[in-house]
Amino acid sequence: MSNAKKKTKAMMLGLGLDSDGHKRITKGDNFTLIGGTQDTHEQMTEKAIKINEKLKSRGKRLEEVSREEFNDIAQEVGLKKNS
């Protein structure tokens, strides 16, 4: 398949920078989450799943939304934008 015909694929990457000594990796359809304490990792997983649910309810895939629409969805599920 030529480069022009390949579909674009988007992914979310979550990095938990706190640690309790355990190695945690969770992969989903369009996300990979790495690290964090148990609580942090569970929170990242919950947010990624909720983002996917919001995308599905809008009939869209991650690679189809604009940055602004993604930011709106992220805020809806409780993620805060750093200034």
> What DSSP string runs through 52-82?
HHHHHHTT--GGGS-HHHHHHHHHHTT----
Provide the 8-state DSSP code for 7: P
pTM, two decimal places: 0.85
pLDDT tens, position by position, 6-41? 678 899 999 999 999 999 999 998 999 999 999 999
- Counting other chains too, the contacts that 4-13 makes at CB distance below 8 Å and 24 or more residues apart are 7/63, 8/63, 9/63, 10/61, 10/62, 10/63, 11/62, 12/48, 12/51, 12/62
**pLDDT category of residue 4 using cuts at 50, 70 and 90:** low
More confident position, 10 or 5 = 10
